[in-house]
Structure 1
């Protein structure tokens, strides 16, 4: 079906409808307000009516409106078939975006049984290698080898599962062997989060296949940037584990001493994402990259603060926060900075260790998202600029007016834009 974007009001018999039909064509009627939001809502309505193949036609479609349509049109069962409009370069960009977003969406929506930690690492590496060719090299560290390499956070969180935890170390290097690393990416890859002994209720556990959304986001962003001709060296670290309960699982009261010497008391096994990211951030710091970006579905506190249409961002650098907001706006995504001060590093105290992984109160207490970011700060090199993205907008538990149920991939374009900067 042809989809036409128009500024004209619908015919009188359609009343205030924002989508109308005439002679086998659908018309999206733009009104005053946020046009991208209106287009995405219209796409949801059209897909909900059973459409799976559309052609965007007419003069009013541009890059952002076409992408908004694609985001509303996608479902967990597939992105649908969209025929783009515009010049060749715009159509290629949209095609590349959709391929990268579809990869992330498929990973995030996959069943936890089918996406074990090593599987997540392997799939991500192979997809990037297909895009980057011989410019991509990688290794996967799994199981007991993590302890040998002193990646104790990933090992501790994942040891309760029969399926081993893993860290993916991937190097995209188009410049040559000794080129400096420009950016290091870190993704939280918890393929399923039961909460461990701090077990979640069923309704809170149901959507926890999405807890590897950070890993999918940074992987898809790197893939998109490579497709766009990225000409800088980037290293990627995915911290992959299942957080399950067993006789081997880590426990409340355990103390983990990290590679950098920081000791951490476990006061909540459901605050596991920051424990695995601590390893990834140390690995990223070891690269000497001047910019480190991590992405994670980390805290419910971020979701409460910014809602489901924004991702929360944190950084000690006000310049980096401003740049991230500008880059997000340039690709029509939404981010919002939340507080991060040096004293946030001390907001999870422990009488037994240098710090705890949370506060022993529901949801981590007041300022939980900032406290989590403060915890992560312990593991970041002081020589690097660091951006932490708490992906509040990465997953919809149920369908709504903007998104189908499941992965949204909101955040992929922002990270890609920062890589291409």
Structure 2
């Protein structure tokens, strides 16, 4: 993994190429003040003053050159406004003309992210180092970059190398630097204590046995925060098998677990004053003689019985047991991340995690923070009348709604049954994948909603930051 700390450093006036920022409002005035030779250089590089354009301006010798680029708004530097430039520039050290990168430093770092675990060739250029005078923001930005890269890496790894034991090892690696405690429940204890997690994963190979992984960190006197992640390491659909096209990206079905773990890492690295409880329900939804079946009735940890209307609606089952466990310690707030439904992608597309929440004020805060950090969320309703779609004739609830309507909503309503009454709860149905590249955001695994929720938590638990 790339060492982001090598790419964002304190500006001590070491040699660096200057980056001049323009925006559409300032371009004409700037351009009119340039010499004929400078305008000729700009023309030769097809620099037209459009957002995203950049050009190199040569000085007295071959090492003396600067950069000019156009961003949407020089006064409000979003996280991705320098990402395209960072991808295009040659190796070297750079500084902005005003000395401060602000939020744009994140995009500078993520533009240099590479997932090359399985590649022999290395087509990447050398490091592009950004110098900044905004020293206090360096460490927080590095924490965000590392958490984002963690999500991308975990989701990009194929299922053969990211099974339940690999998820457990990932949690242990994150926990170790912070002295967090990790406990794992598997085998007979899982079957007895978390029967739905066990049922979903019991058909997998023994080496990929299901488990509940828990991490705890923080002072007991601080408010308890529960993070829950769906860790379905591969989803065949079970006996209600998916078509091949539907299985192609199912290595990413543990994307919720990756988000929850990366958010836990952010919380610990920034030492938020919370009593953190991370729960990852890890299983492979495989096909075998002992796979759970359509029509089976499972008894959950909460005691509710669940009729299986579709074995491909397995994520809500493992989350149900994990949410029940989270609620037993009376948390101040419960947040879950899950690549839960195709219906959410149909409704809001790949870039917008669907947000469900049982508290209007909390939902509004989450959406506002997402807008602030350019990590948007879109709220969908917990429409209680649709709970009738989950009725069962033989059990307390069915795991799959009749008729195929409102799939993301009925999935959220299913989860709601396992959240304690009057406990604030956020559920993010996220895609965890970017189907096409954007500057700083390559095709592949992606953190979607994580930064928004982290900003919410900062505001909730450390408002004086």
Higher relative contact order (CA 8 A, sep 6+): 1
Alignment partner of 2:445 out of 397, 407, 411 = 407
1:145 corresponds to = 189
Cα distance, 1:403–1:313 mapped onto 2, change above 3 Å: same
TM-score between both structures, scaled by the size of structure 2: 0.80
Cα distance, 1:188–1:353 mapped onto 2, change above 3 Å: same
Measure, in 2, the Cα distance between the counterparts of 1:122 and 1:44.
34
| Paired residue secondary structure (1:279) | helix
Measure, in 1, the Cα distance between the counterparts of 2:410 and 2:190.
27
Measure, in 2, the Cα distance between the counterparts of 1:208 and 1:251.
20
Task: Say if 2:200 is the partner of 1:157.
Answer: yes
Alignment partner of 1:20 out of 54, 57, 62 = 54
2:288 corresponds to = 246
Measure, in 2, the Cα distance between the counterparts of 1:146 and 1:259.
10
Task: Say if 2:151 is the partner of 1:104.
Answer: yes
> 1:401 Cα shift?
6.0
| Paired residue secondary structure (2:279) | strand
1:127 corresponds to = 174
Measure, in 2, the Cα distance between the counterparts of 1:198 and 1:227.
42
Measure, in 2, the Cα distance between the counterparts of 1:358 and 1:211.
18
2:21 corresponds to = 5
> 1:166 Cα shift?
0.9
Structure 1 gaps of 5+ residues are none
> 1:291 Cα shift?
0.9
2:80 corresponds to = 40
Task: Say if 2:297 is the partner of 1:255.
Answer: yes
Alignment partner of 1:397 out of 418, 427, 435 = 435
Per-residue CA deviations over 1:53-74 (Å, capped at 9, x if unaligned) read 7745332854322223444543
Alignment partner of 2:236 out of 194, 206, 222 = 194
Per-residue CA deviations over 1:252-282 (Å, capped at 9, x if unaligned) read 1111111222111111111111011001110
Measure, in 2, the Cα distance between the counterparts of 1:279 and 1:113.
25
| Paired residue secondary structure (1:94) | helix
> 1:405 Cα shift?
1.4
1:118 corresponds to = 165
Q: Is the 8 A contact 2:72 2:81 kept in 1?
A: no
TM-score between both structures, scaled by the size of structure 1: 0.88
Alignment of 1:170-319 (within 5 A): 170-173=215-218, 175-176=219-220, 179=221, 181-319=223-361
- TM-align CA RMSD: 2.8
1:83 corresponds to = 129
Alignment partner of 2:97 out of 58, 62, 81 = 58
Q: Is the 8 A contact 2:143 2:269 kept in 1?
A: yes
1:30 corresponds to = 71
Task: Say if 2:456 is the partner of 1:418.
Answer: yes
Per-residue CA deviations over 1:202-233 (Å, capped at 9, x if unaligned) read 22212111111111111111211211121221
Cα distance, 1:61–1:202 mapped onto 2, change above 3 Å: farther
| Paired residue secondary structure (2:278) | strand
Measure, in 2, the Cα distance between the counterparts of 1:376 and 1:306.
20
Measure, in 1, the Cα distance between the counterparts of 2:344 and 2:400.
15
Measure, in 2, the Cα distance between the counterparts of 1:113 and 1:63.
39
Measure, in 2, the Cα distance between the counterparts of 1:52 and 1:214.
35
Measure, in 1, the Cα distance between the counterparts of 2:104 and 2:421.
40
> 1:164 Cα shift?
0.2
2:213 corresponds to = 168
Alignment partner of 1:331 out of 365, 370, 373 = 373
Deviates more, 1:28-37 or 1:317-326: 28-37
1:367 corresponds to = 406
Q: Is the 8 A contact 2:83 2:439 kept in 1?
A: no
Measure, in 2, the Cα distance between the counterparts of 1:207 and 1:52.
34
Measure, in 2, the Cα distance between the counterparts of 1:214 and 1:36.
29
Measure, in 1, the Cα distance between the counterparts of 2:336 and 2:66.
43
1:376 corresponds to = 415
